[in-house]
Copies of this chain bind each other. A is one copy, B any other.
Amino acid sequence: MVSIASLFPSHPVAIRKLRDREEKLSGYPHWRLQVPHDIIDVLKYPLTNLTDTERCIVHCDATALADLIRKRVHSAVDVLTAFVKAALVAQDLTNCLSEIFIEEGYERAKQLDRHLLETGQTVGPLHGVPVSIKDHIKIKGIDTSTGYIGWAYKTVADSDAVVVDILRKAGAILYVKTQNPQTLLSLETNNSVFGRTVSPFNRNLTPGGSSGGESALIACHGSPLGVGTDIGGSVRIPAAHSGLYGLKGSVARLPHAGLLGTHDGMEAIVGAVGPLATSARDLGLFCRVMLDAQPWLVEPPLLEMPWKREVAKGEGVPKKLSIAILFDDGVVAPHPPITQALRKYKDALITAGHDVIEWQPLDHQNGWDLIAKLYLLDGGAEYHDTIQSAGDTAVPLTNWILDHAQGRKSYTPADMFRLNLERDAFRAKALVHWNETRHRTATGRPVDAILCPVAPTLAPPHDSTAWWGYTSHWNLLDLPGVVFPVGRFAAADAFAVEPLPPARGDVETFIHGQWNPATYDNAPIGLQLVGRRHNEEKLLAMLDIVESSVPSHTSLGSLHNGNA
C-alpha cells in the first residue's frame, strides 16, 4: 500500500509548490476529508460533502450540464460548487491536482450566471461547464511546471493555449490544473514537484498517465470533462485505467499550440490534445466546440477540417459494421479480464448483426522500437538536462523510458530522415494491411474499425507499466483511437479466469508475472476502438453502434453508477 505521505517529494522547490497548493486548498476546510491510508478504494468519499442536488450535478456529463445551465435548472455557481467539493476531496485522496484557482472559477461562474440572466443567452456551448486542464497546457497567469522542478515558478504562462482560449470563449469554467508525470513520456503520473497521483478505484494502482491527474479527478467526479494530451497513450491509458471515455484524434485535427513540454518542435511523432469524459457524447461535444472555432485560422499546423456533426451522429456510417478485433498484439497477450471483455464484445457484435474478423497484428515490437527512437532523437539529452540542471531527481519511469535511448546517442539529420522514412514505410504497410481486410469481411469492404485492448493489463501497480504497444502503435500510425469503459474487475470473480499462455519474451514474462487477480481488484476495464485517419466523427458514430450492441455494457461491473 502506498502511504499518502510517501507521495510527496522533498526538493525545496517541491516543498514550496506543495505549500502553495495547500494554501489554496486550506480556503475550503469544510469541503475536505481525511480518509485512512489503508483504505484503497476511495471512490465513494469525494461525494461525502455533497448535497443530493450536488450529487445529481456531478453525475451529469458535460452535455447534460450545459443543457441544465442553459435552461437555468442549475446556476454555473452551483455546478462549480458541486465539482469543487468533489475535487478537493479527490485531491486529498489521489493527489491529482497541480494548480488550483477556484476563486477565478467562481468569478467567471458569477459573470456567466449574470450574463444568462440579463441577456437570456449563453456565451457558448459550454456556458458554465467546469473543465479541468492537464498541467502542461498553458493557462494565462498560471504556472506550467509540467512535473519539472526546474520549471516551477518560471513558467507562469503569459497566454492561454489555443484549446484553453476556445474553451473560455465557449463558456467553460477553469478552476484546476491536473498532474502530469515528469517528462510526459510515461503512462503513469509521478513527478518530483507534486509527487504521485493514485487511482481512486484502488490506491495501490496508477490512474494511468500522462493525463493521470485528469483521470483520477474525473473518476472522483471532481470534473465532468478534462483536457489531456496523447503521444503514446497518455489520454487513452488514463481513461481506461479510470473507467472513462478518452479520445486521441489524428495529429493536427484538434488545437495543440500553447503546450509546454520537452522536445517542442519535434515532429517525427506529434501528440494530440484530447478530451477525457464520462460519456462518449462529451468527446464529440469537445471536438465540435474546438473545430467550430476554426482553430486553423490561428494555429498553422491544424488541418482545415471542420467537425462533421452529421457523420458523428451516424450519417453515412454503415448500419452493419465490419469490425476487426485484435486479441493479442504478438508481443504481450493481455491479462484475462481484457481478453474476456473482447470476447464479450465479439459475441455481442455478432449477435447484433455486425461482421467480425480477427485483426492480425502488424509488427507491434518493431513499431515500438521505432517510435521509441522517434521519441528520443537526441538520445534523451534534453530530458536529462532539464532534470539534472535543476538538481531534480528522475522518477523511476523516467529512467525506464530514457533507457530506451541506447547510450544517449543523438541522431544526425540523415539518421532522422531515414527514421521518418521507416515510419512512413510502416504506415504504408499498415494501410495496405487495413485495405486488404476487404478480402476477409462479409461486407466486402475493408473493416470499419479495430476493436482492441488499451493495455495488456488493467491499471497496474505503481511504477510497473512496461508495455505501450496497444496505444503507441496507433500514434505511430496516426490513427484515431477512442477508449470506452466496459466494466470493473472484481477479484472475487477471478475463478472464471483461464491461465495465460507461455510468455514470448522478457516483457511478456514480466507482465504475465504481474497477473494476480487480487492486485487488480476494483480496477476499471476499458477497450479501444481505432478508426481510419481523419475520421474522428465516424469513429465516434461507430463507438455508439458498438456500445449499443452490448445489451448492458456495464454488465462487467458498473462504474459511475456504483458510487452514487
Contact = CB atoms under 8 A, between A and B. Distances in A.
Contacts of A299: 428, 431
A428 B264 contact: no
| Secondary structure of the A contact surface, majority rule | loop
A382 interface: yes
A419 interface: yes
B416 A265 contact: yes
B478 A300 contact: yes
A414 interface: yes
Contact of A296 (B267, B420, B533): B533
A421 to B, nearest CB: 4
A265 B377 CA distance: 14
Nearest to A534: B304
Interface stretch (A28-36, A114-122, A405-413, A488-496): A405-413
A73 interface: no
Nearest to A377: B413
Given A378-B414, A421-B265, A427 B300 contact: yes
Nearest to A430: B300
Contacts of A477: 300
B264 A297 contact: no
A267 B267 contact: yes
Contact of A412 (B257, B410, B431): B410
A418 interface: yes
Q: How many copies does the complex hold?
A: 2
Contacts of A518: none
A312 B300 CA distance: 23
Best-buried of A265, A297, A378, A428 by chain B (most CB within 10 Å):
A265
A39 interface: no
A442 interface: no
A301 interface: yes
A378 B413 contact: yes
Interface string A358-383: 00000000000000000001100110
B304 A535 contact: yes
Contacts of A378: 412-414
Interface in A411-445: 411-414, 416-421, 424, 427-428, 430-432, 435
A376 B535 CA distance: 35
A301 B270 CA distance: 13
Contacts of A417: 263-266
Contacts of A266: 413, 417, 420
Contacts of A297: 431, 435
A382 B414 contact: yes
Given A304-B533, A413-B377, A428-B300, A420 B382 contact: no
A500 interface: no
A447 B267 CA distance: 31
Contacts of A410: 412-413
A1 interface: no
A507 interface: no
Interface of A: 257, 263-268, 296-301, 303-305, 377-378, 381-382, 410-414, 416-421, 424, 427-428, 430-432, 435, 477-478, 532-535
Given A303-B305, A304-B533, 4 more contacts: A257-B424, A265-B419, A304-B532, A411-B413
11 contacts: A257-B428, A264-B417, A265-B417, A265-B420, A266-B417, A267-B267, A297-B431, A298-B428, A300-B424, A300-B427, A304-B533
